[in-house]
Amino acid sequence: MASKKSLVIVESPAKANTINKYLGAEYVVKASLGHVKDLPKSKLGVDIENNFEPVYDIIPGKEKVVKELRTAAKSAQRIFLAADPDREGEAICQHLKEILDSNKGEVFRVLFNEITPKAIRAAIENPGRINQHIVDAQQARRILDRLVGYQISPLLWDKVRRGISAGRVQTVALRMIVERENEIKAFVPQEYWSIIAKLEGHEPPQFEARFAKIKGKAAEVKNQAEADHILAAAKNSEFLVESVVTKEKKRNPVPPFTTSKLQQDASRRLRFTVKKTMMLAQRLYEGIELGEEERIGLITYMRSDSTRVSNDALDMVRSYISDVYGGPYLPDKAVIYKSKKDAQDAHEAIRPTFVGRTPDDLKPYLSEDEFKLYRLIWTRFIASQMNPAVYDQTTVEIGAKDYLFRASGRVMKFDGFLKVYEESSDDDGKPLEPDDEQDLTLPPLRQGEKLRLIDMTPRQHFTEAQPRYTEASLVKALEEKGIGRPSTYATILTTIQDREYVTKDQGKFKPTELGAVVTEMLVKHFEDIFDVQYTARMEEELDEVEDGKMTWVEALDEFYKKFEKDLKRASKNMENLKSQELPTDEICDKCGSPMVIKWGQFGRFMACSAYPECKNTKEIASDETPKEGEASAESEPEPCENCGRPMTLKRGRFGQFLACTGYPECKTTRKLAAGTKTPKKPDVLLEEICPQCGKAKLAMKEGRFGEFIACSNYPKCKYIKPKTVGVACSKPGCGGELIERRSKRGKVFYGCSKYPNCDFVVWNKPVPEPCPECGAPFLLEKATKREGLIRYCNQESCSYKVPVEAQQVS
């Protein structure tokens, strides 16, 4: 009789494929595809009166996965639950244990920080048990978020508009963006001046010194009059070197990546969104096929707030530095970095699983973006264990009567860790220069030396408001304030954009009118719950639950006492924007009644107070929108394509547009690109002839939903070239192909090109890949909130489904 096999359950198929190759034939490796149980979508799912007891259901669509796991567990001697080593992973293991507990096989929890043969075997040989404290911490967070989301969101639907939501952490992040925007709007620039003296010593080169003090005291030059006074007095003075001080300075390497630091650096350097960074890191962690070699994980677990590195990894990287860069770059002993106080030190920092796999070695096997991210992680880890960079820094103080000027420069003596990696700055991804220093070389100067003044230049400056948040700076601020955890940042940033609470302007977050209104209402009526300090304290309490210092019920009870009071008060007192009408001084140009400001699905607008007798409405110009008749400051006036006279900005029933100033002789108009003040791109003629009229050429046009190709003889010929997706219609004998279409409401769907003779249609994007399970000719692709981007089979009898992240797609 054959011996029973052991069952190993991981989260993703990609991880299952990798681990399956490391374990022998006595193991079966299955994937749970993430969570298998969750709170129900249709109701709160939390018994508030009974110690917040949650009700968990099998997630819809996961029935087949659960059935397969139960079947595999029946014949298993031992069951190893190997979900990710974090709170979500621990909760998944707990739910799997509950589902499989009726089986005879003993259930173990295994943890590994990297997916390599050595790490997997060590985890299986030293199994543990599920950590109930970690499960409780995850459950507390899940219930907290459910209580806030399911009890505040209906209020917003009733008072503002349907479909929007509030989130315990997402709303605090939005609040930070809105408050930064308010600070920017309220900011008043302050004038100040700098004075730069260009000087020459007894040897070249010439150099610059900046005005610093008057009569030994630090001085601010606030206006031109003060600058001119200093300029006049100093110009007629002798410039004498008062002191020359040269010190050796060291610049220390930075620790290996934690999750948030990886998200920030990838955003600054690579222009990756936080979501994209985590998706790519997941692929590198779960395993990549390296040619003929076995599939292997290239980095350690990508959700970590620890800077700890294992002794084996330290030995490995120190050996590599010694062999490749030489002894001067290797410190006498390994560099140990302190993690922040609330870091989960069971994890390691994010690092390569084997430093000998250099980025260049792996380039043939990685997509371009995977390669960029791996290189970033690899170089940071190597640099973290190298010697500091060493500079000679020279500071020269120069007197001119009562005025003191200062010049500083530095010369690199040893590049140290900078040979491999240099940390980027907060804003532009350029190297971070400490204390505004630059690698400038000063001439040899002696104390008491007289200098020749070449030129003296006053420069006017104005203080600037703090910039809007980028993804990198928002992640940094969230981490510094203790809001959320790095593993949740991608979801937070995605949600506030999906809900249309913020947009991105040149890569920086700008709140929409909806985002600002929702924030104002929530902060006003839920002052405690959406307070930054209070939210940070809740994160600390969740950590205390994980450490066993507090029960999850205690944490929830403390939160709900405040929340319940706020909820009752808000239900009575929250403003109803839907019914609100704000009076204005404007008169309706159709009936003469006063106009009022109302709130609609797309924000504020102006409407006649005599509605419904008069249905006149007008768009409300924002502060940034030019008034009617004014040209946009962004560009020169647009010339009319028919008569050459300048176009001007007009406002009509459907918003702003460009109209010829030669009206009524010339009635040319042009629409503006959606959400901008710039005209739509002119049509671009193509060489292809329209297949419908056979006369005119096709043209690339810009429409409401982006670019499309249509006949240039519109409106006489209304042919629009369909967008194909490379998939044939699956109806027998049809012979058509699937093309992209749009419904009346603008929703994309895919239908047969032979419509109306063939009415085959699918609502998700077809992908020209046959189903590996049933052989269907194509798969469908869709994005889900829970599982991200997935591909699945369209056949009802087939339940094939796989995350796109698990596939090798670039």
Active centre residues (catalytic) = 301
Cα→Cα distances 772→380, 512, 585, 761, Å: 39, 44, 67, 22
d(C-alpha 261, C-alpha 255), whole Å: 10
Burial 90-129 (b: 16+ CB within 10 A, else e): bbbbbbbbebbeebebebbbbbbbbbbeebbeebbeebee
Q: What are phi and psi of 662, to 5 degrees?
A: -85, 5
Strand arrangement of the beta sheet that strand 788-793 belongs to: 765-767, 779-784, 788-793, 801-803
CB contact at 8 A, 689 and 698: yes
Nearest to 153 by CA among 488, 495, 487, 486: 495
**What is the end-to-end Cα distance of the chain in Å, rounded?**
47
What residues contact 557, with CB distance under 8 A and at least 6 apart? 52
Strand arrangement of the beta sheet that strand 655-660 belongs to: 647-652, 655-660, 669-671
CB contact at 8 A, 765 and 780: yes
| Burial classification of residue 407, based on how many CB atoms lie within 10 Å of its CB (0-12 exposed, 13-18 middle, 19 or more buried) | buried
- How many Cβ atoms are within 10 Å of 359's Cβ, its own excluded? 17
Q: What are phi and psi of 569, to 5 degrees?
A: -65, -40
Q: Is 9 helix (H, G, I), strand (E, B) or coil?
A: strand
How big is the chain, counted in residues? Answer: 810
Could you tell me which residues are beta bridge partners of residue 651? 656
CB contact at 8 A, 593 and 610: yes
- The beta strands (E) that lie in 182-313 are given as 191-200, 207-214, 217-218, 239-251
Could you tell me which residues are beta bridge partners of residue 457? 196
Q: What interhelical angle do 368-384 and 259-270 show, nearest 10?
A: 120
Cα→Cα distances 597→574, 577, 675, Å: 19, 10, 21
Cα→Cα distances 208→42, 397, 411, 441, 453, Å: 69, 12, 16, 11, 10
CB contact at 8 A, 280 and 370: yes
Unique residue bearing structure tokens 């206006």? 223
Burial 671-683 (b: 16+ CB within 10 A, else e): ebeeeebebbeee
d(C-alpha 803, C-alpha 35), whole Å: 13
| Burial classification of residue 497, based on how many CB atoms lie within 10 Å of its CB (0-12 exposed, 13-18 middle, 19 or more buried) | middle
d(C-alpha 797, C-alpha 800), whole Å: 9
Cα→Cα distances 369→272, 304, 359, 606, Å: 9, 21, 12, 47
Alpha carbon dihedral 460, 466, 471, 475, in 10-degree steps, equals 130
Q: What interhelical angle do 274-286 and 368-384 show, nearest 10?
A: 80
Unique residue bearing structure tokens 């009789």? 1
- How many Cβ atoms are within 10 Å of 63's Cβ, its own excluded? 12
Q: What are phi and psi of 554, to 5 degrees?
A: -60, -45
